Structure 1
């Protein structure tokens, strides 16, 4: 489905995306690039992030790829300095780096728990805090990619639930503190998104995919373009009065089980 945003909607804007080597975050980067933005991408592996940037330039966009681990504040700040030097002050920041795996708490080491919290929560803090002095203020937009686990407890996801809940509250705190500077801070909580590593793990067979979709109010997975459009809306002048908000882009998954089976009486 074509985007509702004009090809020049973000012309002259610089967008910094963390965790952009693949998946939803790279999809967001492509969305902004199609709308005319210049992209600065970071991820841990130099080869992967350069390959991601190359997909944008091959499509006619402008992008630079830089290796930086979001857990390393100095590395993130250095990437922001380069982005500003080469592309101009930062108008939009997307923080989407994440780590996750399924594990019961009794089977999870303290280091495993810490790793996810460090990538997700500390990483979001580092990206946003380091970006502040490089933002095109007033008018800058910061967006964190959070998750339903931030508000819905899930089995074998204690680490991700804790980290994402922290991100949601960080969004709200920064929205209050940075609003007077003209900086808006919001989040996007994606539901099941097609062609992502997460859904490949959760529903690896056509039968499991069909059962998963049957539980959704809209009966289908979302796309990476859906999340890109949500990010562009939150970064546009149309959302100039929106801050501290978590936008659910989830096909109604947070509403609960919408399948016909949910109406059946227990035997």
Structure 2
């Protein structure tokens, strides 16, 4: 099988697109879809073994990928990595700022180190990648950037460090869209809600029941798929979105629009899109 994208074949032929956090989850899925549409995908992340595994999958499927181990929180390393990618592949047309991470904790239990680590990962790292790519390439050639944030409207109880960082990334998206637009650079964001991704298996056991019940808070009574996020990312990178910049697209089944006061009835007529031929259901949903 191959990736079943809703976008036309060859859409990104001849284009190099960077995907940070490309070794797992939404980043892995997006890298696969971009490669299936003809892109040369540059996978960036902290763990070489994960990047190489996804690179191998993409090449096995007939796509083109390369891997670049990089800690996006390190300014000098980011600058060197972007330079290396440009030297290998020429101008980069797209950046998917997907790398991120957090841990569950109420605000009162987060120390300064934990707070700063999450903010550096979810905000500073994305800024550094975008800035370096703009300065080294996109300011001369144009391009598109898609930042991955999260459903943090109304706060993000239990993960306030991540919520603050993601809100900052939304504002960065808006600012960069204005400052960089004259150079032909578009900057947008997508905000996934609850998505069935490998990251769900990283949370502690005490959160499993809560995670399994997340679908009850979505109007469609389900959680999303990785490919439902990837398709939006690929669209925002495409020429079809050439007049869209500074916006954030929520991909959450309407969950962030709702109110706890409004009762959610039993869902019906629900359609699910899953074009990722290598998608794996998180273990948490297959456990007894």
TM-score with structure 1 setting the length: 0.90
Unaligned runs of 5+ in 2: 266-288
* 2:208 equivalent among 204, 227, 235: 204
* 1:145 equivalent among 138, 145, 148: 148
What number of residue pairs does the alignment pair up?
260
Structure 2 counterpart of 1:233: 235
* 1:66 equivalent among 42, 65, 68: 68
Q: Is the 8 A contact 1:90 1:136 kept in 2?
A: no
What is the CA distance between 1:218 and its match in structure 2? Answer: 2.2
Q: 1:67 to 1:41 in 2, by over 3 A?
A: same
Structure 1 counterpart of 2:159: 157
Q: 1:262 to 1:250 in 2, by over 3 A?
A: closer
Aligned: 1:134 with 2:130:
no
Structure 2 counterpart of 1:39: 41
What is the CA distance between 1:259 and its match in structure 2? Answer: 10
Q: 1:176 to 1:107 in 2, by over 3 A?
A: same
Structure 2 counterpart of 1:55: 57
For the residues of structure 1 that align with 2:203 and 2:245, how far apart are their CA atoms?
Answer: 33
| More divergent stretch after superposition (167-176 vs 70-79) | 70-79
Q: Is the 8 A contact 1:19 1:25 kept in 2?
A: yes
Aligned: 1:95 with 2:97:
yes
Q: What secondary structure sits across from 1:218 in the alignment?
A: coil
Q: 1:23 to 1:90 in 2, by over 3 A?
A: same
Q: What secondary structure sits across from 1:17 in the alignment?
A: strand
Unaligned runs of 5+ in 1: none
Q: What secondary structure sits across from 1:148 in the alignment?
A: coil
What is the CA distance between 1:199 and its match in structure 2? Answer: 7.0
What is the CA distance between 1:81 and its match in structure 2? Answer: 1.7
Q: Is the 8 A contact 2:138 2:183 kept in 1?
A: no
Q: 1:195 to 1:157 in 2, by over 3 A?
A: closer
TM-score with structure 2 setting the length: 0.84
For the residues of structure 1 that align with 2:65 and 2:79, how far apart are their CA atoms?
Answer: 18
For the residues of structure 2 that align with 1:77 and 1:50, how far apart are their CA atoms?
Answer: 21
Q: Is the 8 A contact 1:46 1:66 kept in 2?
A: yes
RMSD over aligned Cα, in angstroms? 2.2
The CA deviation string for residues 210-239 of structure 1, in whole angstroms up to 9 with x for no partner, is x32232122222111111110111011111
Q: What secondary structure sits across from 2:154 in the alignment?
A: coil
For the residues of structure 1 that align with 2:260 and 2:231, how far apart are their CA atoms?
Answer: 25
The CA deviation string for residues 7-55 of structure 1, in whole angstroms up to 9 with x for no partner, is 2111111100111110111111111011110000111122222222222
For the residues of structure 2 that align with 1:115 and 1:101, how far apart are their CA atoms?
Answer: 10
Structure 2 counterpart of 1:223: 225
What is the CA distance between 1:164 and its match in structure 2? Answer: 0.6
The CA deviation string for residues 121-150 of structure 1, in whole angstroms up to 9 with x for no partner, is 11011000011122385540001000112x
Q: Is the 8 A contact 2:12 2:39 kept in 1?
A: yes
